[in-house]
Amino acid sequence: MVGGVSATRALNLEVADEALTTFVKRVDGVLRDLEGSAAHPTRVGGQTIKPTSLNSGSTAAFPEAHGLYLQYNRVHEELTALSRTLHLQIEAIGIAVKGAHVGFDNLEEEQRRRFWTIQTQIGQIQDARAGEQRAKGGDTSGSL
């Protein structure tokens, strides 16, 4: 017995601790990579085009160009929301893994607060998307 726990269980806890530490480092690395890449939410959000980029501004002259512009903007909004949600979820996973490692109550107050702020933001994004889908009469089962 080691500290009231069998030797086998103590060894399993050590292995789990190592696995969590490795996982935290991997999540932190993914988050750093995302923040430095073109997939960062602010960079994705900044990649817009103007209606006049595809035609002279008159939808009557070339309606297909206007349709392409509308589709581009729709897809761009979806990618921006996906990037933002992914960024938030990776950050939340990092905090959750640290909490699993040391105990959520042992995390710094700021980390606990940030975790719950992220959960609220993700919920708001999901609610907004579901509302948009309902307004369009679409299926909400594939919401973010």
**What local confidence, expressed as pLDDT, does residue 113 receive?**
96
Residues 6+ apart with CB under 8 A from 98: 24, 107, 111
Instruction: State the average pLDDT over residues 115-143.
Output: 82
What is Dmax (Cα atoms) for the chain?
A: 82
Whether the CB-CB separation of 64 and 54 falls below 8 Å is answered with: no
| Tens of pLDDT, residues 18-72 | 776 677 678 777 777 877 777 677 777 777 777 777 666 555 567 888 888 888 8
User: Alpha-carbon distance 110 to 98, whole Å?
Assistant: 13
pLDDT confidence of 124, banded at 50, 70, 90? very high
Top-confidence range, 3-17, 59-73, 100-114, 124-138: 100-114
